[in-house]
C-alpha cells in the first residue's frame, strides 16, 4: 500500500467516524425527544400534536420511514459531500430515531407504545453506531483492542442483565400507571 492510499484510507475512516458520531447523537436525541413528547401528549400536559388521516393516528415511525426513503434516494442519486453529507447524516439519525422508537410496533402491530422491544432496538442500534463511530477498523486491531473488546463485551452483558432486571422492576411499579395513561390518552 502506498503512502497516498494510506492517507486516503485514514481520511475516509475519519470522515466515516465523524458522520457516525453525528448520526449517533441525533439518533439518541430524537429518541429522547419523541419519548418525552409522547409522554406529555398522553398525560395531557401538552395539546394533542398527533396527525390523523380520516381518524387514524399516523405514528411517527411513518415519518421516519418516509424520511429514510427520501434520504436514500437523495444519497444514491446526488452523492453529496462536505456540509450536505453532514446534513444528510443528521437527517438519517433523526429518521432512524423516529423509526426505531416504535420498533415494538413493527413486531406487535397495535401493541403498546411502551413495548420493551423498542428500548432493546434503540440500545442495539446505539451500540452499533457507537462501534462505527469510535472503534478502529478491524484490520487495525491489536492485542490490546481485542482485550478491551472482550472486557467491554463482559461489561455490556452484565449491563444488559442488570438493565433487564431493572426494567422488570420498573414495569411492575409503573406498568399499571402507564397502561391507564395509554388507555385515557388521545388515540
- b/e 24-37 (16+ beta carbons within 10 angstroms → b): bebbbebbeebbee
The total of structural domains in the chain comes to: 1
Residue 117 in grid coordinates = 422491544
Whether residue 57 is predicted with pLDDT greater than 70 in this model: the reply is yes
Q: Does the structure show a pLDDT above 90 at 31?
A: yes
* Residue ranges making up the domain that contains 51: 3-184
Looking at 5-19, 40-54, 112-126, which range is the least confident one? 5-19
What pLDDT does residue 134 have?
81
Provide the grid cell at 128.
452499533
Percent of the chain with pLDDT over 90: 35
CA 56 to chain centre: 25
- Beta partners for residue 57, in sequence order: 52
- Residue 181 is classified by DSSP as H
Spatial separation of the C-alpha atoms in residues 40 and 63, rounded to whole Å? 19
Q: What is the pLDDT of residue 10?
A: 55
3-state secondary structure string, 89-108?
HHHHHHHHHHHHHCHHHHHC
Mean pLDDT of all residues in 33-54: 90
Residue percentage of the chain with pLDDT more than 70: 84
Q: Is residue 5 scored above 70 in pLDDT?
A: no
The b-or-e profile of 99-134 (16+ CB within 10 A means b, else e) is bbbbbbbeeeeeeebbbebbbbbbeebbeebeeebe
Residues 6+ apart with CB under 8 A from 46: 37, 40
Q: CA–CA separation, 36 vs 134, rounded Å?
A: 28
Confidence at residue 131, expressed as pLDDT on a 0 to 100 scale: 80
CA-angle at 20, arms to 130 and 140, nearest 5°:
70
Q: Which residues contact 88 (CB under 8 A, 6 or more apart)?
A: 71, 74, 75, 80
Amino acid at each position: 500500500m502506498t503512502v497516498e492510499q494510506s492517507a486516503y484510507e485514514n481520511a475516509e475512516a475519519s470522515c466515516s467516524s465523524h458522520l457516525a458520531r453525528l448520526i449517533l447523537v441525533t439518533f439518541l436525541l430524537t429518541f429522547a425527544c419523541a419519548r418525552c413528547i409522547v409522554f406529555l401528549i398522553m398525560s395531557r400536559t401538552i395539546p394533542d400534536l398527533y396527525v390523523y388521516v380520516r381518524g387514524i393516528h399516523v405514528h411517527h415511525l411513518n415519518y421516519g420511514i418516509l424520511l429514510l426513503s427520501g434520504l436514500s434516494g437523495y444519497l444514491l442519486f446526488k452523492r453529496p459531500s462536505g456540509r450536505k453529507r453532514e446534513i444528510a447524516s443528521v437527517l438519517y439519525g433523526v429518521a432512524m430515531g423516529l423509526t426505531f422508537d416504535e420498533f415494538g410496533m413493527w413486531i406487535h402491530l397495535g401493541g403498546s407504545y411502551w413495548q420493551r422491544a423498542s428500548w432493546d432496538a434503540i440500545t442495539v442500534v446505539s451500540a452499533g453506531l457507537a462501534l462505527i463511530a469510535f472503534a478502529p477498523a478491524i484490520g487495525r486491531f491489536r492485542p490490546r483492542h481485542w482485550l478491551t473488546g472482550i472486557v467491554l463485551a463482559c461489561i455490556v452483558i452484565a449491563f444488559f442483565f442488570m438493565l433487564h432486571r431493572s426494567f422488570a422492576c420498573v414495569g411492575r411499579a409503573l406498568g399499571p400507571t402507564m397502561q391507564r395513561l395509554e388507555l385515557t390518552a388521545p388515540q
